[in-house]
Amino acid sequence: MSTTDKNLEQEYKDLSHLLSEIIKALPLHLFVKDAADDFKYLYSSPLMKQVYGCQSDKVIGKTDFEIFSDLRIAQEYRDMDEKLLQTGKPYKFIEPVADPNGLLRIMDTSKMLVPRKNKPPYIIGMAWEVTKLKQTEEQLQGFHKRLALACQAGHIYPWEWDFIK
């Protein structure tokens, strides 16, 4: 192996390590599936264990049916992947997930295709937790309803005047 090849190999290893560390630091679950191979996982970030209870390195080469014990959920994921493959349009959804400790987490997930030359595309997905955001939204809606009822009971009619116009 020439010096140039060794340098290129070391640069590749360094870059690979850097990207791996960046992904570990991100507060999201990143995953890649191979549409050409029964939607098997090619990559899953470490957050997979915290949210879904699976070691990220144990899901590589497996389908959702082999990973998730709830076959209904596995089928939903498969249906989404097939729809994405058919339409080619990015897919976004919010789902409740019970983590390994039984804690309910709300995950905001996006999936999209990554084209490949002469092969079916990869599916890349990113899921981040929005539980606290959703709880805050629900709390604000409750406050708004109570304020509206209090205004109605007190015959108070709020109004807004935009004097800048």
pTM of the model: 0.74
The phi, psi pair for 159, rounded to 5°, reads: -145, 165
Per-residue model confidence (pLDDT) at position 165: 64
- pLDDT, averaged in runs of 10, over the chain (165 residues): 83 86 83 94 83 77 89 92 94 85 88 94 93 91 91 84 75
Per-residue model confidence (pLDDT) at position 52: 75
**CA trace torsion 129, 135, 138, 144 (10° rounding):** -120
The phi, psi pair for 107, rounded to 5°, reads: -110, 135
> Two tokens at 95?
């789902």
Per-residue model confidence (pLDDT) at position 97: 82
Per-residue model confidence (pLDDT) at position 11: 87
